[in-house]
Amino acid sequence: MLSWKQFIIRLFVTFLFVFSFSIRADDSVKKHWIPGWQATSPMTIARAGAAIVRYKNTVYVFGGVDGVNFLSSVESATINPDGSLSPWQLISEMPEPRGFMSATVFAGRVYVVGGGNGPYGKHLLSSIVSAAVLDDGKLGPWRTETESMLTPRRCSKLVVHNNTLHVFGGFGGALLDTVESSRFSDNGKLSPWFMQPNKMTMPRYVNEVKRVFDKVVVIGGHHPTKGRGISDVEYANLNENPMQWRPLKPMKTGRYAFSSNYHGQFLYAMGGISGSEYLNSIEKLLITNQLSESTWRNSTNLPAFMANFTTMVIGDYVYVFGGSTRYGYLSKVWFARFNASGDIGYYGSEANLAAFNSSAQVKKTIINLPNSGTVLESIATEGYTYLRVMSKGKQIWLAAPKMEIVPNMKIHFSEGVYMSNFFSKTLGRNFPGILFVGTVKVD
């Protein structure tokens, strides 16, 4: 039995514990939701078009391009309890450079599938290379799998379901609408590949693919002829044999070279290129087990206008790795988390929120429409309005969304995507250089 002194002491200790816990709880309540991203350890190499996987507590990034060369390098980082990443370290290189491929983990082994290398990625790959993940988190010797895909594919996407690897679309000399599959054996070897009898409803290139429950959802991509992103979304049941393709609600914005994720009940489409410009927008779609869904809605923006980056969801955290912008290639890595509404951000202090609002406002005023000029010539077509503009003492050509505009108008226009030696089939004309922009406003 406790003496009265022991009882008083225990009661006092309990009071201190409850009081201190309530203070911590109050502190957490006072934290503000910030619709932004936090930077964590950058990769050792700037890279876009890389592939990424997670195994246990380690993230692995494979290959890609650094703006000049295709890469064979592989690097890894561990995940800290607060969601940040440890410093990256280079580990075993792949047998050859490759970029714009996909990767997965199966039974403790990483598999890197397809891709391309050589000048402008013209050398298309059908091979698959794999390596075992060792106890220390590094990778064992690489091996080239005996069974290659039936079609060389760059920018294809994959999912694994019931020990079967499925690869969707990509570029194989032309844009592809085919799906091929291979089964894993107990020793991790792949069986001979076979083509699925049903094709997707359209060719899919630099698109995204996500597994949602027992379904596979295929999102967006590059239009085969019009040089812009598509907003179309379709899905198939992975348990159906053969797969049957059905439409889902289209995105608000057509996009390619973007990334997607699934978390909670939301499917996300992030960034990419519209055809006119790099995007920082994120759309989310509330989706259920039966894929009855609402419409796409805007969510938190990315930390930059970017494309060809890689993302990954780990628990309640989402990460963005590298990629490219109009200005170059990135080694940066950002992370954030999901709130109950499915939006992306993090909890911070009032000072953090004030700093974010200040920086966001500065970015908005700088990035909105930073360029200006005078229209010298305007050519309207079905898809674009072509504008010859005098800007900063030079004549440049713009391709803008279809609009009514005449010479001598003063305009402001957004950052865009520059293309050299662009041939317009509609006009039957070659432009030595043209800037595709998403927004033009008349002063």
Is the pLDDT at 67 greater than 70? The verdict is yes
Least confident range from 5-9, 285-289, 322-326, 437-441: namely 5-9
Pick the CATH number of 34-364 from 2.120.10.80, 3.40.720.10, 3.40.50.720, 2.130.10.10: 2.120.10.80
User: What was the pLDDT predicted at 28?
Assistant: 45
Is the pLDDT at 10 greater than 60? The verdict is no
Q: Which residue has the higher pLDDT, 207 or 425?
A: 207
User: What was the pLDDT predicted at 404?
Assistant: 86
Q: Return the H-helix or E-strand segment holding 287.
A: none
Look up tokens 């390098």; give the residue: 73
**152-194: pLDDT as tens digits:** 999 999 999 999 999 999 999 999 999 999 999 988 999 999 9
**CA 326 to chain CA centroid, nearest Å:** 16
Distance CA 389, CA 184 (A): 57
Q: Hey, which of 22-26, 378-382, 394-398 has the most confident mean pLDDT?
A: 394-398
pLDDT band at residue 384 using 50, 70 and 90 as cut-offs: confident
Q: Are strands 394-401 and 32-34 parallel, antiparallel or unpaired?
A: unpaired
pTM of this prediction? 0.81
User: What was the pLDDT predicted at 368?
Assistant: 62
The SS3 assignment for 78 reads strand
Question: What does the pLDDT average to over 114-138?
Answer: 95
The SS3 assignment for 120 reads helix
Q: Which residue has the higher pLDDT, 231 or 353?
A: 231
Distance CA 34, CA 336 (A): 10
pLDDT band at residue 363 using 50, 70 and 90 as cut-offs: low
User: What was the pLDDT predicted at 26?
Assistant: 41
Superfamily classification of domain 371-442: Nucleic acid-binding proteins (2.40.50.140)
Judge contact between 62 and 102, C-beta under 8 A. Answer: no
Question: What does the pLDDT average to over 231-247?
Answer: 95
**72-96: pLDDT as tens digits:** 999 999 999 999 999 999 999 999 9
User: What was the pLDDT predicted at 360?
Assistant: 63
Buried b (16+ CB within 10 A) or exposed e, 305-336: bbbbbbbbbeeebbbbbbbbbbeebbbbbbbb
Q: Return the H-helix or E-strand segment holding 272.
A: strand 266-273
Q: Return the H-helix or E-strand segment holding 8.
A: helix 4-30
In the chain, where the domains are located: 34-364, 371-442
- Write 408-411 long-range contacts (CB < 8 A, 24+): 408/374, 408/375, 409/374, 409/375, 409/442, 409/443, 410/372, 410/373, 410/374, 410/375, 410/442, 410/443, 411/372, 411/373, 411/374, 411/375, 411/387, 411/440, 411/441, 411/442, 411/443
Is the pLDDT at 252 greater than 90? The verdict is yes
